[in-house]
Copies of this chain bind each other. A is one copy, B any other.
């Protein structure tokens, strides 16, 4: 096991031990970070079809066998019930808890979906000399997604802003990470996709994108979470926004499917 390999494992062990309960944004660079959505087996087919139909927002990196919390491909030996810093538990679409250990809520036949996260490519942007904004905003839009079964809703995006030159680099570079949302879905005016930067889901509200910077918007893995909540399933477990699962997959290796 190489040293960098252990960085992901060490992070997960700290999370499992309850020593790491904070954000993963900009942390453990070089490893694919994933969003988590757990649903009972009975809802798993429609959810997987929803992800397939909206792959820019929901690139599925791994799916567990029903009842198993182990992502055998993305991080063999890991336990998705404990190895994230913080979870959200939703009952009938309402938040019921925000624990650091999901074991008390994990459904017996639960299927866990790991969905690529744009947090993965921030390290690649930094390596390319792109100046990153102080944080990553998560925003609702009015762009519809393709429904599947009871799952339907609008696209959620992440916003980062850059100089125009850096924005062009960011488009080219993130296109190389199709399993982590790939190239952006929009550039420029937030209103054109119905996004309100004054009311983000995650991030400090913005009055405007700073002078001389361009807003760049990527499809976001929070989309399937929102959709799962809006479907008012009896039980959904997700990661807490910004508190992602860190896989053993190197983000550069993962340029390829």
Contacts and interface: CB of A to CB of B under 8 A. Distances in A.
Interface of A: 44-45, 48-49, 52-53, 55-56, 59-60, 62-63, 72-73, 146, 175, 178-179, 181-183, 255-257
Given A55-B257, A178-B178, A178-B179, 9 more contacts: A45-B45, A48-B49, A49-B63, A52-B60, A56-B256, A175-B255, A178-B256, A182-B256, A182-B257
Nearest to A149: B65
B63 A257 contact: no
B59 A63 contact: no
A212 to B, nearest CB: 28
A176 to B, nearest CB: 8
A146 B257 CA distance: 14
Nearest 5 Cβ contacts at the A-B interface:
A45-B45, A55-B257, A178-B178, A56-B257, A178-B257
B63 A256 contact: no
Contacts of A44: 45
Contact of A257 (B45, B48, B59): B59
A255 B181 CA distance: 13
A256 B183 contact: yes
27 contacts: A44-B45, A45-B45, A48-B48, A48-B49, A48-B52, A49-B63, A52-B60, A52-B63, A53-B62, A53-B63, A53-B73, A55-B257, A56-B256, A56-B257, A59-B257, A72-B146, A73-B146, A175-B255, A175-B256, A178-B178, A178-B179, A178-B256, A178-B257, A181-B257, A182-B256, A182-B257, A183-B256
A115 to B, nearest CB: 11
Contacts of A179: 178
A17 B4 CA distance: 58
A77 to B, nearest CB: 16
A51 B146 CA distance: 20
A60 B73 CA distance: 19
Contacts of A48: 45, 48-49, 52
Nearest to A176: B175
Nearest to A57: B257
Contacts of A55: 257
